[in-house]
Structure 1
Amino acid sequence: MKTPYSLLNLIVAVNFLLVLQASQSLSSNTNDDYDFLDCLIHKSDDPDSISRVIYTPSNSSYTSVLQFSINNLRFTSPTTPKPRFIVTPVRESQIQTLVYCSKKHGIEIRTRSGGHDFEGLSYVSQLPFVILDLINLKAVTVDIQTTTAWVQAGATLGELYYGIAQKSPNLGFPGGVWYALGLGGHVSGGGYGTMRRKYGLAADNVIDAQFINANGKILDRKSMGEDLFWAIRGGGGSSFGIILSWKIKLVPVPETVTVFSVDRTLEQNLTKIIHKWQYVAPKTDKDLDIRVVMFSVINPSTGNRTIRATFETLFLGGINRLLVLMQEEFPELGLTREDCTEVSWIESVVVGSSFTNGEPLEILLNRTAMPKNSFKGKSDFATNPISEDGFEGIWEFYNDKIEAGMALLVLTPYGGKMDEIPESVIPFPHRLGSLYMIEYLVVWDGNETSPHISWIRSLYSYMSSYVSSSPRRAYLNYNDLDLGVGKTYAEAGKTWGSNYFKDNFNRLVKVKTMADPGNFFKHEQSIPTRF
């Protein structure tokens, strides 16, 4: 016999109350927590279903669910604030219920898709909060006829790319190289990948979205209006609401692309090679992307520390055309046919995600294949070439001042399509005039932070005379709380607002004021309201 709906509510409520009473960590908040859970149950259209996707600290799965998508181990220490609840919805109506009850009971929502947030803002708060983890909302629906796809926000890039490849070898998407990134945050922050010089950013190729606003309503592009649709494509969706899914435009890719990964060290004339790279990579053919990843290593021949740079490339074409292009424009690298490999586009995604041991395409569906570390990142944009002396100064940091751990410097060239899109088309403003983006990343084991973070801040300070200024620009998806934590329009405008968005910041504030006047969706660097 089917259990009556009212009785089912009572059973679920009693079970939650017993769980909360058994939890010592929540003892001082039991009444508030019970009221919140009671709200979720009574407002839900399926109380039993929603009860199965709510985790409290007393639940045996709470810690594993919390830590599964934390990719920065800096935020796993015992002193890191933990959520009062974690909710992993399986349907959109459960998110609407969560929004209603969180507003009613004054609990912040932190929305997590992939969990690669540099500063942990998607799963850490200093105020009472609940994590909305979208891990179960990961459907990928590809339409070959219209060359579009609907992708839920909890899907990873790897799941998207794999889904596209299952339908067609001649379609792709210009998203990031890190296969485990969640679509929700990646796209809304202006995510980029190896085809940005050909097709622009991921957000440049979004044509519709489903979105839940502060009133719990589900909106699409038409119902949300063009201002809000503009804001969530590069302005950070978590400032305005909850991204449910993106409708993306797929792009053509050739059946065969070429990849290479070539290492050069200081002893192999790296300083002059990297200096020349600055003049070639942003200006060359749109089909060619040459990214540089640099780090300090021990030279096995001498036993001394040196700098090694890996030139990682995707070329949308065959080896023969690539070799001609490289010989004409960048002979200093000394590329040979043996360095190059022709693969399909989806195979290039596997290689680009650092899987180089012949792993099958299905590795892109494995969310746990990559190791986790503690890390701190920062970003810059170079608008003029850095001198050889400037690079020599960088080498000094990597040779003499780096603490235990691993530090990377990643140079990502712009130009091509990035020069053709006006900076006001979406909130991401770093377009024409940017030669390349610089990512600083220091990685270490354990929870100690001081020496590593001090080192990267020192390098960042040294770089100030070589990068953009007034404002010194920064990339939102490499969020950096060192830029400032502004709670008001005035505070944010003087600190991180112009760094991330330049003149687009004021328009974002206007949209925020209209879309979420009560500032319900907020975090340490969220877009503020004007008042």
Structure 2
Amino acid sequence: MGILRLGGYLALAFSVSFFFSCSVASPADGFLRCLSAKIPSELLYTQSSTNFTDVLASSIRNTKFLTNATARPLCIVTPSDASHVQAAVLCGRGHGVRLRVRSGGHDYEGLSYRSVRPSEVLAVVDLGANLRAVRVNRLESTAWVDSGATIGELYYAIAKNDSRLAFPAGECATIGVGGHFSGGAIGMMMRKHGLSADKVLDATLVDADGRLLDRAGMGEDLFWAIRGGGGGNFGIVLSWKVQLVQVPPTVAVFNIAKTVDEDAVDILTRWQHVAPSLPSDLTIRVIVQGQQALFQALYLGACGSLVATMGDQFPELRMTRADCQPMTWLQSAATPFISFGRNGTLEEALLSRTAGQSSAGKIKSDYVRRAIPKAAWEEIFSWFTKDGAGFMMLEPHGGFMGSVPAAATPYPHRHGVLYVIQYIAFWQQGGDGTAATTWIGGLYDLMEQHVSKNPRRAYVNFRDLDIGQNDGTPESGEVWGERYFVGNYRRLAAVKAAVDPSDYFSNEQSIPPSR
């Protein structure tokens, strides 16, 4: 047994053959016995543990997955050290038990903690319990963040070290860093600074052989793949080194709602042309719900300049100085976007790991490359009067995003993309969701004529099993994989073949190794 010191971790480099030599009554028993020998008991929750269900449910954000309808894990490992993750991988491979990896639990299809296949034997490695440190280096303007941290915790730690530093990521505080970065990570500052994945400098990862690797050890192909190729594909990323960005001492935000009677259709139609071409310091996203469009903006500057820019480039919105709210960047992350108007302190908004989605839901996504005409928007708005109607969120690209080659990271939706759409339907826990799922399916079908084609694109962090699932062949991965990754899919499959040829890290939408 050797010792490997890497990225702040002291990890045991176990011999694979030791674990493969375990011989007990069944694969499940052997796996649990193997884990128990190498991981402290307080970090391991089996189905017989009194608090197993509570731990499993602790970060399930979509309540429809609180049922027993799909395969439940044999156990949940809550590692506090890299060696525990290595042990889980080697014990799993030695005894035929696959691992699902969870950081924040926001996977829309729940694939980070469940299997759609009832017969699958799996365990969960839950990074959010203990591997959640954030270490900021003010002199370098960098940070190391563990995969189990939330983006709220990351934002808070950065700003408390230096209020002029920030990081481009998403808008929900409880999102786990591991899954978020693995899918690229869009957010309100991507037009200025790009995706979270664009700012990753290094990472530590446990691969399918149980080795702990940094960027130099994993090589540039694997380092490329983990920055947008989707979570649960190539190994277990434990931590990320990221480049922080400069923000002004005060930013400006606004939230302006327009109803259909207040020309919401005309304004939204115009927004499609304006939002992707605005100065990159300004991002305006739109939430469409009911008969209203809510325009939400983050501007990395002062209110006076924002009012002037809006008057010059988007007068249709009729934004005034009274609409503008000056605040710090950290406040902007906590108040108008992350907390969605909930009351509370910055700490409560950013550091609570229990706030978030409390209903069941279904999510789908699209990319728009050509503006949708006004007449189509009128028809689309009519769908928000139907039974089960949810909402749409439109997030503009352009700016920095349009300047990055599609192959720079696995996230390919760069040049020519106007905006990404997230469709969200939800229902209360215990309901059957028929009306909501019928609504989102019908709206998605309607939108096909207006969105990207050949392939119809989707965002991997808005996971959607409707667009395809693996059936054990590399070809099945292309059905859904090219929609998430377009021209980058085959390179991802080649990386998978090189680093995990036996396809140990596998789920319903994991990258299969190319032949």
When normalised by structure 2's length, the TM-score is 0.92
What is aligned with 2:124? Answer: 131
Q: Which has the larger radius of gyration?
A: 1
What is aligned with 1:410? Answer: 393
Q: Secondary structure at the match of 1:476?
A: coil
What is aligned with 1:500? Answer: 484
C-alpha distance in 1, partners of 2:447/2:426?
19
- Contact conserved, 1:108 with 1:520, CA < 8 A, in 2? yes
Q: Secondary structure at the match of 1:166?
A: helix
What is aligned with 1:387? Answer: 373
- Contact conserved, 2:173 with 2:339, CA < 8 A, in 1? no
What is aligned with 2:144? Answer: 150
Shift in Å at residue 41 of structure 1? 3.0
Shift in Å at residue 530 of structure 1? 1.4
C-alpha distance in 1, partners of 2:343/2:492?
45
Identity in percent: 44
Q: Residues 357 and 521 (structure 1 numbering): CA distance in 2 closer, same or farther, change over 3 Å? A: closer
C-alpha distance in 1, partners of 2:367/2:231?
23
What is aligned with 2:303? Answer: 319
Q: Does residue 491 of structure 1 match 2:484? A: no
Q: Does residue 435 of structure 1 match 2:421? A: no
Cα-Cα RMSD? 1.3
Bigger drift between 442-451 and 317-326 goes to 442-451
Task: From 227, 234, 245, give the equivalent of 2:239.
Answer: 245
What is aligned with 2:82? Answer: 92
C-alpha distance in 2, partners of 1:267/1:497?
41
Q: Secondary structure at the match of 1:499?
A: helix
What is aligned with 2:460? Answer: 476
C-alpha distance in 1, partners of 2:447/2:340?
32
Q: Secondary structure at the match of 1:191?
A: coil
Letter in 1 for 2:65: F
Shift in Å at residue 322 of structure 1? 0.1
- Contact conserved, 1:231 with 1:237, CA < 8 A, in 2? no
C-alpha distance in 2, partners of 1:430/1:371?
27
Task: From 487, 503, 511, give the equivalent of 1:519.
Answer: 503
C-alpha distance in 1, partners of 2:147/2:212?
14
Shift in Å at residue 30 of structure 1? 8.0
Q: For residues 185-196 of structure 1, what are the structure 2 equivalents within 5 Å?
A: 185-196=179-190
- Contact conserved, 2:363 with 2:425, CA < 8 A, in 1? yes
What is aligned with 2:227? Answer: 233
Q: Does residue 329 of structure 1 match 2:313? A: yes
Shift in Å at residue 204 of structure 1? 0.3
C-alpha distance in 1, partners of 2:450/2:29?
55
C-alpha distance in 1, partners of 2:344/2:252?
18
What is aligned with 2:7? Answer: none
What is aligned with 2:95? Answer: 105
Shift in Å at residue 446 of structure 1? 2.0
Task: From 322, 329, 337, give the equivalent of 1:345.
Answer: 329
- Contact conserved, 1:207 with 1:249, CA < 8 A, in 2? yes
What is aligned with 2:269? Answer: 275
Q: Does residue 67 of structure 1 match 2:53? A: no
What is aligned with 2:191? Answer: 197
Q: In the TM superposition, what whole-angstrom CA distance separates every residue of 1:272-305 from its partner, at most 9, and x where no partner exists?
A: 0001101110001100000000111xxxxxxxxx
Q: Residues 41 and 357 (structure 1 numbering): CA distance in 2 closer, same or farther, change over 3 Å? A: closer
C-alpha distance in 1, partners of 2:244/2:231?
21
What is aligned with 1:3? Answer: none
Letter in 2 for 1:62: F
Q: Does residue 118 of structure 1 match 2:108? A: yes
What is aligned with 2:384? Answer: 398
Q: For residues 50-61 of structure 1, what are the structure 2 equivalents within 5 Å?
A: 50-61=40-51
- Contact conserved, 1:488 with 1:530, CA < 8 A, in 2? no
When normalised by structure 1's length, the TM-score is 0.89
- Contact conserved, 1:111 with 1:132, CA < 8 A, in 2? yes
C-alpha distance in 2, partners of 1:356/1:236?
30
Q: Secondary structure at the match of 1:109?
A: strand
Q: Secondary structure at the match of 2:390?
A: strand
Q: In the TM superposition, what whole-angstrom CA distance separates every residue of 1:150-207 from its partner, at most 9, and x where no partner exists?
A: 0000000000000001110100000101111000000010111110000000000000
Letter in 2 for 1:430: H
Q: Does residue 373 of structure 1 match 2:359? A: yes
What is aligned with 1:39? Answer: 34
Q: Secondary structure at the match of 2:276?
A: coil
Q: Secondary structure at the match of 1:263?
A: strand
- Contact conserved, 2:367 with 2:421, CA < 8 A, in 1? yes
C-alpha distance in 1, partners of 2:279/2:152?
26
Q: Does residue 212 of structure 1 match 2:206? A: yes
What is aligned with 2:178? Answer: 184
Letter in 2 for 1:152: D
C-alpha distance in 1, partners of 2:384/2:476?
34
Task: From 307, 310, 329, give the equivalent of 2:294.
Answer: 310
C-alpha distance in 2, partners of 1:116/1:54?
22
What is aligned with 2:8? Answer: none
Shift in Å at residue 516 of structure 1? 0.2
Task: From 66, 71, 90, give the equivalent of 1:76.
Answer: 66
Letter in 1 for 2:353: R
Letter in 1 for 2:299: F
What is aligned with 1:19? Answer: none
C-alpha distance in 2, partners of 1:361/1:452?
33
Letter in 2 for 1:481: L
What is aligned with 2:163? Answer: 169
C-alpha distance in 1, partners of 2:469/2:264?
38
Q: Secondary structure at the match of 1:503?
A: helix
Shift in Å at residue 453 of structure 1? 1.5
Letter in 2 for 1:376: K
Shift in Å at residue 33 of structure 1? 3.4
Shift in Å at residue 450 of structure 1? 2.9
What is aligned with 1:354? Answer: 339
Q: Secondary structure at the match of 1:294?
A: strand
C-alpha distance in 2, partners of 1:201/1:215?
30
C-alpha distance in 2, partners of 1:221/1:253?
28
What is aligned with 1:302? Answer: none
C-alpha distance in 1, partners of 2:415/2:333?
27
Shift in Å at residue 69 of structure 1? 0.5
